[in-house]
Each structure stands twice: as C-alpha cells, then as structure tokens.
Amino acid sequence: MPPSSLPACSAEHDLDICRACLSRHLEAQLESRGRAVSESLTCPSLGCGHLYTHSELRIVASPETFARYDKLRLLSHLATLPDFRWCLREGCGSGQVYAFPASRLPSFPADMQLRQRNRVLCEACGFAMCFAHQTPWHEGLDCVEYDAERGDPQLAATRAWICDNTKGCPGCEAPVEKGPGCFHMTCHVCHFEFCWECLADWAQIVNVHPITYVRKYRRDRHAVGCYFRSENAPEATMVAGHTVQEALW
C-alpha cells in the first residue's frame, strides 16, 4: 500500500498490511461490533492506534465495507439527536427529526392543546406515535391521562433509581447498570464497549493486532482522572466490583 494512502500511519511506521487484508480487518470489526466500532476504527499495526478518518476509510476499505461503515456512522449520529425518532410501525424503517424541544416529557401542562402536542406522525407512513413515551400513540388519552391510567405510583422512584444507579452509554445514552464484574462494560443496546469508571472507548484502550492477535493495553487512553489511568493501577479487566472503592477495600 503506498504511503500516500495513509500519511498519518506511514509517518510512524511501515505500512505492513496490504489493502486487501486491511479491508477484511475493517469488515470483520464492523461485522462483530457494528455501530459501537464505527466511530473508532483504528490502524491495526502494533503500537500505532491511529484513528482512521472518513476520507482514509473511503480509500482503504472496499466499496461494500465503506458503505456499511457510512450507514453505521449515520445511525450513531442519529442516536445522539434528542429530537430524532424511528417509526414504530413494523416494517416501516423510516425516521425523522421533529421540530420541537425534546425536553417535553409527559409532565403537567394544563392546556389540552399542549397536552396533545406529543402526538407525532411518521412522515413516510403516517403512523401516530407519542414522542415522549416513544410508544404508539395512546388514542383517547393525552400523556398525563396515559400516565394516570397506567397507575404507576413508583414512576418517580424508578426514574430516581435509574439516575442514581446507572450511567448513560457513551454510544447511545441507554442506561447501563454496573454489576459485580470487571470495569470493561458492553452496552446491551448498541454494543458499545467502554470503561465504567471514565466512559472511555474500550477500542482505544485495548488494541488487538489482526494478524498476530497481540493485545496491547493502553493505560493512557483512559480519561484524565480515571483510576485505571494511574501508573500502578491494574488493568480494568482485573478489578471486579460495583465501584473501584468497593473492589479495592
């Protein structure tokens, strides 16, 4: 592969992987980890860790692999938009950004017109949904009435527990609860892997060479202030417990 293909990598080391092998490596990463890895595809050469840019991947990946990568990048971006919703009708697959603040939870507006404004329609198929609850529209009930009919007296307590006991996945913001295992976490929704203590991308912390399978742990890729970044700290996969303090003491 000519050095001009990947100037950032060629400035640090010889390009020791051919284009075909590199493309297969990228394809395997996308196949096994999907959207979670689309933002963190790195050079597989041992000790490099260069994060490939969109334009570099267009050059080195096959057209099919690049198209898949491009789609996963789009899905990752959409997941970060608070005003975006997928259509909930089976088989539709459409989605759109709705032009109003996403902070409107099913709370307590007095005016009936405002109480109905969480009703949104899919622009592709016209399916009616509740923006706040992210369910099919609860016909005949506004959001306040819907909550009352469901009769969930523990709703506030549940939300408080989630706030106190989970962290938002760095990939999709889904709440993730820490179990008694190690600090290498995988989101059950988007499969993004991260450090529980600092939320750093695990693909940046641990590199595995695609040919030799040599594993390199990069302590400096933990976020500044993370316990596992400190000089004498064991690897995050060697410490188990709900918190670092619990595990060490």
Name the more confident of 37 and 180.
Answer: 180
pLDDT digits 0-9 by tens, 75-134 = 878 877 888 898 999 988 888 888 764 444 444 444 444 555 788 999 999 999 998 888
What pLDDT sits at residue 31? 80
Most confident of 9-18, 65-74, 109-118, 202-211: 65-74
What pLDDT sits at residue 109? 44
Name the more confident of 72 and 219.
Answer: 219
Query: Quick one: average pLDDT of 179-203?
Result: 91
Give the whole-number percent of the chain exceeding pLDDT 70. Answer: 84
The amino acid at residue 63 is P
pLDDT digits 0-9 by tens, 195-226 = 999 999 998 898 777 666 677 899 999 999 99
Q: Which stretch of 3-12, 134-143, 157-166 has the lowest confidence by average pLDDT?
A: 3-12
Q: Which stretch of 12-26, 51-65, 142-156, 200-214 has the lowest confidence by average pLDDT?
A: 142-156
DSSP 8-state symbol, 92: T
What pLDDT sits at residue 133? 86
Domains in the chain, CATH or no CATH each: 1-80 (3.30.40), 82-164 (no CATH), 171-249 (no CATH)
What pLDDT sits at residue 2? 63
Core vs surface per residue 139-167: b (16+ CB within 10 A) or e: eebbbeebbeeeeeeeeeeeeeeeeeeee
The amino acid at residue 210 is P
* Number of Cβ atoms within 10 Å of the Cβ of 35: 21
d(CA 143, CA 138): 8
What pTM was estimated for this model as a whole?
0.47
**Beta bridge partners of residue 176, listed in sequence order:** 167
Name the more confident of 225 and 41.
Answer: 225
